[in-house]
Amino acid sequence: MLTIHVKTRLCDVFFRLPMTPFRISALLIMAAATLVGAPADPAPLPLSLSNAEISRRFQERREDLIRSAIANLNPADLSKGSFLDVTAALQRGERPADALARLARLNEPAPTGNMFWVYPMAALLATAGDRLDAASQARIAELWRTYWPSRGDTENHWMLYYSGLYIAAQSRPGTGPEQWFNGRSAEENMAEARGYIEHWMRVTTAHGQGEYDSPNYIGEYVAPLSLLAGWAADPAFRLKARMMLDYVLYDYAIEQLNGQYAGAHSRVYPRQVLQPGRVTSSSIGWLAFGLGDRQPGAQALLLALSGYTPPPIIERIARAADRPYVNRELKRTRWRMRNAGPDAIRVGDRQTVPVYKYSYVDRDFILGSSQGGLLQPIQQQTWNLRWRVDQPLDASNTFFAVQPYSSPHEGTMFFGEAWDTVTDLIVRSKADYDSPDKLASGSPHEQVFQHGAALIGLYDLPPGTRFPHIITLFSRDLRNVVEDASGWIFAQGGPVYIAYRPLAPGEWKPNDWTGHLAGGAGGFISAGFKEWGTGHRCYVSGAPRNGYVVQVAPVRDFASYAAFQDAIRVLPLRTAVAPVAEVVFTSLDGSVLHAKYGATPAINGLPVDYGSWPLFESPSGSSARGSRKLDLRHGPERYQLDFESGTITQTVATP
Amino acid sequence: MKSSARILATFLAATLTAAAGSPPMDFYAAVAMTKAQKNSSTPTDSGLYRREADGRWVHFGPRILGIGSVAAQPGHPAVLLIASADGVVRSTDAGRTWRKTTGWEVLDVRSIAFDPLNPLQVYAATQWGPIRSDDAGANWTPAHAGLAKLYSQTVIADRTRSGRVLIGTEDGIYESADAARTWTRVATSPATTVLRLAQSGANGQLLLAGTQHRGAWLSRDGGLTWQQTDPASATANLYAAALNPHDAAVMAVGGWNAGVRVSNDGGATWTDRTAGLPVKHIFVLAFDPVTPGRLWASTFEEGTFYSDDLGRTWHEGGLYGAYGFDYIFIPAP
C-alpha cells in the first residue's frame, strides 16, 4: 500500500536524523502513544495531494514499471521479454544487445498477433527506431511489407490497429505502397488511421464508449491512446489523444474502489468476475494514481513509456473523501449488425442502443448497474456490488446476479458468422459463453433498476429459454449469511451489510467451475480455476417470472448487524410475479421504488427519465449527451476538455 | 449466388473464346480453417485457395482474416477484387501485387459482383450495407439509399440488363435499376435474411435464393416475383444455392442440417442428395463451368466434395477443416 510505503519512508528518514532534543521528544511521544493503548498501527499519514507530490509519486511508479520491464530481458534465455520490454530497454539505451537479440527472436517466424503485433511494433519504431541495428530494421521493413495484420472486429482491436498503423507510418515517412502490406503509402495509411481514430473520439465523446468500463479492455484503449499521446508528431492530434486518455482515466477514477473498477461492465472475463482486483484496470490505476496493489501490465508499461502524465485533478477526484455520491453515465452497446431491435438508434450508418449506467459510490462500497438487456455480445456484467478491501488483488469482494443467456440471435446481432455456427465459434475462445453456469452475461429477459443503494432486478423468461434460471453469486468472502424468516437473505461483505430478497424461492448450489473447465477451453480461463473458481455459493432460481430486491448499507451506519436486519424487515415491500414480476419497495433512504417488468421504473411516483440521461454526471464531472465536452471539478478546481475545439481549460476559483 | 453471377460471366467469356479451344479456368475457394481453432478467436488459416491441376489446394493472395469471395473483371481477368473483413483488396496484375481500395469505413465485405455488361461497374455486399464502384473497384462509395436494413452478404448483377442489381438483405431481396443508387424492396421476397442469391447462366430469368429460416425461393421472371420452392426445406437455413450453367432445369440448394438438395426439373421437385457426405451442414455449392454437370459442395469443417452424377455419389475434394464461404471460377489470366 502506498500510504504505508510513504509512512515507512518518513520513519526511516526520521530515525536517521541526529539525536536532537526535538527527536528525543518525538520519540517519547510516539512511545507514550503506544503504551496508552493507541492503535498498534497508527493512522497513516495523510497522503499529500499537491500537484508536486502527485507528480513525484507518479514518476516513481513510472520508473518502477520501466525498470522491471527492462529486467525481464534475459540474455541467457531469449524466450523472455515482450516487444514492450525491448522498447523500454532501447528507449533507455540500456542493454541494447539483449534487447536486439530478443527482438530478433520475437519477429521469427512471421508474426501472428495481428493488431497485437502492430501497436508494440509501432511503439518500438517511434521510440527507438534509430537504435535498431540493420538486421532488425530490415526484418521489420520486410514484415510491414509482407505480413497483413488483421484490424480485428472490436473497437479496441481497431484502436490498437489504427493507432499502431498511424505511428508506424509516421515512423516510415515517404515509404511507398510497395513497402506496405496493404499496398497503400505511408501517407495514405496515416490518413486512414487518423480518420478512424477521430471518428471513434467523436462518437465516444458524443454518444458514449461502446466497450464501456471494462476492467480488462480499458487497457486496449489506454495503450493506443498512449501511443498517440506519446509519439504522434502532429501536436493537435497528440493533444487530442492526451485528452482522450484524461477522459478514459476519469471514467475509471470516478467508479473505482481502492483501484478496483466497479459498477456495470461491458466486458469482463470469468476470473475477473470472481477476483475483480486482478485485472488490467488495476495495473493502470496503480500506475496512474497509486491506487490498489502494484501490478505490472503491458498497457500500463506503454502508458509509462509514453511520457503522458495524468492531470492531478483526476487523482484528487479518485481519492476524494466526499463520498457517497451518485455517478450516472451514458454508454452504448457494441454496434449491432443485424437483429438491432426496436430500441436501436442510429449513429451514422451504425446501430446501437444507449446504456444507462448508475453507480452509488460510497467510501466503503460501490453498487452499480445498467438497465439490463443485450448490451454486449459476451461477457456483460449488468450490475455488481463491490466492497472495500485493504488487499484487493486476490479478494473476491463481489456480489451480483445474472441470467445466463446465449443464442444465435444474440451472436448474429454482433458478429458476422452464420446463425448455425456463431455460438460454436464464440465458445472456441470464450468457453463460458454457452454455459448454464456462466457468471457474465447479458439477457434480453432482464430489467434492472437502481436508486441510491437499492436495486431491483426483474426477469421474464419465456418458454424455451435455453438456461431458464437466475444465478445470484454469494462469494466466499461474504460472512454471516442468514436466511431470515421474513424472506430476506442477509450477508456481510467487509464493511457492508447486504439484504437480498428473492421474489421466488431458489436453492443453494456450489459454484464449482472445475468440471466446466476440465477441457481447458478458453485461453483466459484454462488454468488456475481451482484457486478462484471454487468456494463460492450460488442462489439459483428457476422460476420464469422472478426478480430480487437488493439493499446495501455501510456497517458504520448501524449499531449492529441485528440492527441492520431489523431496519430491513420493517421496510415496506410489495412483490408479485404474475402476470409479470413487480416490486414496490421503500428503500432505506425513504424513496419509494416501483419496478414492473416491461414498464419504465418510477421513483416516488415519477418515471425515470432516461431521455435526459447525461454522458457523465457526478459531483466531480459532467458531460451532456452529444456535447463532446467533459467538465471535471474538485473543490475550486475545474478541468474542462473540449473535444470540439481540441482544448483544455484549467481554472481555480478564488474565494 | 454471386458465385453464379461470376460463373456466368466467366462462362460467357469462355463461350466466346470456345472457338480457340477450351479456355483455362482457375477454381478458387474462399475459406477459413476453423476445424483446428482452439482457445482462439481466429482460425488457424484463412483466405483464398486455388485448386491446382493435380487436385492440391494452394493458398493464393494475401492472408487476410475474413475473406468471403473474389471476383474478376469481365474481359480483364488480371483485375481481381477480394472481399474481406478488412475491406476490398484489389489486384491489377493477376495477384502479383495487391492494394486495399476501401477506407476504414468499409468492413466485413462478403461478396462482389461485376456488371457483366459494364465491367467498370461493381457492387459489393457488406454486413454493414452495400457499396458501389464505378471504376472497376479502384474507388468505392456507400450505396444504401432505400434500404430498410443494411445487413447484406449476397449480391448479383443482372447479366441481362446493365445497371440492374439484386441484393439479399436482412429484410429480404432488394432491387436496383440504377446501379445501386436507389433500392426498392421486391415485394414477394421473404422478409428474412437472404443468405445466397444465384442467377442461371443458361436462363437469365431464372434466379434462386437461400434464406435464413425460410428455405429456398425461386424466381422465373428475372427476380421480379419470388415463390418458395422445396417444401421439405421450407424452414431451413440455406447458405448455398447454385444453378447449372449448362442446363437451366438443374439446380441445388444446401444448408445447415439440410444437406444437399437438387432439382433437375426446374424446381418442381427436389431430392435429398446428402448420402455419402460426412455431415449435413453445407455452406457452398457450385456447378463446375468447365466440367458440365459436376457439382461442388463445401461442408462445415469436413472438407470439399464433388459429384459428377448430381449428388448420387460424392468424391473427396480436399480442404478438410475448412469453413467455406464461396467457390469462384475465373478465367486464367
pLDDT tens per residue across span B99-133 = 999 999 999 999 999 999 999 999 999 999 999 99
Those residues with Cβ within 8 angstroms of residue A643's Cβ, 6 or more apart along the chain or in another chain: A201, A202, A205, A240, A243, A244, A628, A629
Distances (CA, A) of B329 to B64, B71, B88, B290: 20, 9, 19, 9
> Which DSSP category does A333 fall into?
P
Q: Is B40 close to A178, i.e. CB distance below 8 A? A: no
pLDDT beyond 90 at A321 = no
| Helix, coil or strand: residue A215 | coil
Confidence of residue A531 (pLDDT cuts 50, 70, 90): confident
Determine the Cα angle at B324 with ends B320 and B330, to 5°. 105
Confidence of residue B195 (pLDDT cuts 50, 70, 90): very high
Residue B69, H or E segment: strand B69-73
Chain B residue whose CA is closest to A409: B212
Q: Does A179 touch chain B (CB under 8 A)?
A: no
Q: Does A425 touch chain B (CB under 8 A)?
A: yes
Q: Does A151 touch chain B (CB under 8 A)?
A: yes
How far is the C-alpha of A274 from the C-alpha of B152, rounded, in Å? 40
Are A189 and A195 contacting, i.e. CB atoms less than 8 angstroms apart? no
Are A589 and A452 contacting, i.e. CB atoms less than 8 angstroms apart? yes
- Residues A366-385 as b/e (b if ≥16 CB within 10 A, e otherwise) read bbbbbbbbbbbbbbbbbbbb
A184 vs B contacts (CB less than 8 Å): 99-100
List pLDDT tens digits, range A542-585: 999 999 999 999 999 999 999 999 999 999 999 999 999 999 99
User: Which residue from B104, B242, B219, B214 is spatially nearest to B164, judged by alpha carbons?
Assistant: B219
Strand order in the sheet with B87-91: B69-73, B76-84, B87-91, B99-100
- Residues B302-326 as b/e (b if ≥16 CB within 10 A, e otherwise) read bbbbbbeebbeebeebebebbbbbb
Distances (CA, A) of A572 to A583, A607, B140: 11, 20, 63
pLDDT beyond 50 at A215 = yes
Residue type at B205 in one-letter notation:
Q
A420 vs B contacts (CB less than 8 Å): 237, 256-257, 281
pLDDT beyond 60 at B19 = no
Maximal CA-CA distance, chain A: 82
Q: Any bridge partners for residue A330, and if so which? A: A356
| C-alpha cell read off for A261 | 473498477
Rounded average pLDDT over A484-492: 98
User: Which residue from B329, B303, B322, B291 is spatially nearest to B69, judged by alpha carbons?
Assistant: B329
Determine the Cα angle at B92 with ends B88 and B93, to 5°. 130
Can you give the C-alpha Rg of chain B in angstroms?
Answer: 18
| C-alpha cell read off for A26 | 518525538
How far is the C-alpha of A161 from the C-alpha of A139, rounded, in Å? 20
A157 vs B contacts (CB less than 8 Å): none
pLDDT beyond 50 at A37 = no
Q: Any bridge partners for residue A498, and if so which? A: A491, A552
How far is the C-alpha of A266 from the C-alpha of A281, rounded, in Å? 13
Q: Is A184 close to B100, i.e. CB distance below 8 A? A: yes
Strand order in the sheet with B271-272: B238-243, B251-255, B259-263, B271-272
Rounded average pLDDT over A26-52: 57
pLDDT beyond 60 at A366 = yes
pLDDT beyond 60 at A629 = yes
**Residue owning grid cell 455517478:** A327
How far is the C-alpha of A343 from the C-alpha of A598, rounded, in Å? 13
| C-alpha cell read off for B130 | 452495400
**Residue owning grid cell 440471435:** A409
Q: Is B151 close to A338, i.e. CB distance below 8 A? A: yes
By a Cβ cutoff of 8 Å, what residues of chain B touch chain A? 34, 37-42, 62-66, 85-86, 89, 97-100, 103-105, 108, 110, 127-129, 142, 144, 149-151, 170, 193, 195, 212, 237, 239, 256-257, 281, 283, 300, 323
Chain B residue whose CA is closest to A194: B104
Among the ranges given (A44-58, A170-184, B149-163), the one the predictor scored with the smallest mean pLDDT: A44-58
Confidence of residue A471 (pLDDT cuts 50, 70, 90): very high
User: Which residue from A479, A292, A474, A476 is spatially nearest to A393, judged by alpha carbons?
Assistant: A292
Q: Is A182 close to B239, i.e. CB distance below 8 A? A: no
| C-alpha cell read off for B179 | 446501379
Q: Which domains does chain B have, with CATH numbers?
A: 2-331 (2.130.10.10)
How far is the C-alpha of A366 from the C-alpha of A453, rounded, in Å? 9
Supply the pLDDT for residue A154. Answer: 95
How far is the C-alpha of A477 from the C-alpha of A399, rounded, in Å? 10
How far is the C-alpha of B186 from the C-alpha of B109, rounded, in Å? 23
pLDDT beyond 50 at B17 = no
Are A618 and A325 contacting, i.e. CB atoms less than 8 angstroms apart? yes
Handedness of CA A151, A156, A161, A163 (dihedral sign): positive
Rounded average pLDDT over A608-612: 96
Supply the pLDDT for residue A627. Answer: 95
How far is the C-alpha of A307 from the C-alpha of A624, rounded, in Å? 30
Chain B residue whose CA is closest to A196: B104
Rounded average pLDDT over A349-356: 96
Supply the pLDDT for residue A516. Answer: 54
List pLDDT tens digits, range A74-108: 999 999 999 999 999 999 999 999 999 999 999 99
List the single best residue of A150, A155, A196, A346 to mutate versus B (max B Cβ within 10 A).
Answer: A150
Chain B residue whose CA is closest to A180: B99
Among the ranges given (A43-52, A194-203, A497-506), the one the predictor scored with the smallest mean pLDDT: A43-52
Interface pTM, i.e. ipTM: 0.93
What whole-number percentage of chain A has pLDDT above 90? 82
Are A569 and A533 contacting, i.e. CB atoms less than 8 angstroms apart? no
Q: Any bridge partners for residue B73, and if so which? A: B76
pLDDT beyond 60 at A505 = yes
List pLDDT tens digits, range A638-654: 999 999 999 999 999 88
Are B59 and B31 contacting, i.e. CB atoms less than 8 angstroms apart? no
Are B173 and B237 contacting, i.e. CB atoms less than 8 angstroms apart? no
Confidence of residue A515 (pLDDT cuts 50, 70, 90): low
**Phi, psi of A193, rounded to the nearest 5 degrees:** -60, -45
Strand order in the sheet with A454-460: A446-451, A454-460, A545-554, A496-502, A489-493, A479-483
Instruction: Provide the shortest C-alpha distance from residue B17 to chain A (in Å).
Output: 33
pLDDT beyond 60 at A23 = no
Chain A residue whose CA is closest to B89: A182
Chain B residue whose CA is closest to A522: B39
Confidence of residue B198 (pLDDT cuts 50, 70, 90): very high
How far is the C-alpha of A616 from the C-alpha of A611, rounded, in Å? 14
Supply the pLDDT for residue B42. Answer: 87
> Which DSSP category does A6 fall into?
H
Q: Is A193 close to B193, i.e. CB distance below 8 A? A: no
List pLDDT tens digits, range A286-302: 999 999 999 889 999 99
3-state secondary structure A337-390: CCCCCCCCEEECCEEECEEEEEEEECCCEEEEECCCECCCCCCCECEEEEECCC
Choice between B16 and A655, residue whose per-residue pLDDT is larger:
A655
pLDDT beyond 50 at A193 = yes
Report strand pairing: A496-502 vs A470-474: unpaired
Chain B contacts in chain A segment 391-420 (CB below 8 A): 416, 418-420
Closest Cβ opposite residue B127 in set A183, A416, A420: A416
How far is the C-alpha of B43 from the C-alpha of B35, rounded, in Å? 8
pLDDT beyond 50 at A22 = no
| C-alpha cell read off for A617 | 454526471
Q: Any bridge partners for residue A450, and if so which? A: A455
Closest Cβ opposite residue B100 in set A182, A349, A522: A182
Are A646 and A236 contacting, i.e. CB atoms less than 8 angstroms apart? yes
List pLDDT tens digits, range A116-136: 999 999 999 999 999 999 999
Closest Cβ opposite residue A338 in set B170, B257, B281: B170
